[in-house]
Amino acid sequence: MDITQEQWWQEAQQDSNAVILDVRTEDEWNQGIIPGAINIDIYKGQGFIYQVDELDKFKTYYIYCRSGGRSGQACNLMQQMGFAKTYNLVGGIMEWNGPVVMPEEK
């Protein structure tokens, strides 16, 4: 489900089951992330499916990418895989007005 950044961030902060998922490439990830995010690159295709399949399907996923397209695809895929709650950040990190931090070294 697409939601506005205000709603996305507010709900992610108040939700004890929240997982912030960044589906961009590693190069994009290294340019800055939304605090607390984990990274699984949707361009990895089957690798993305394998990694997502290991996640807890009962948690709530707040998903973003650069502009909202890939994260929308990720939401649809994850719903097909049995994830009940996935929220897409409309406009992605390009339109994000909230906090951005540099990721820690992997």
Cβ atoms < 10 Å from Cβ of 74? 24
Is 75 tagged catalytic?
A: no
Beta bridge partners of 55: none
* Residue tagged active-site, from 20, 33, 52, 65: 65
Return the C-alpha torsion angle 25, 16, 52, 92, nearest 10. Answer: -30
Residues with catalytic roles: 65
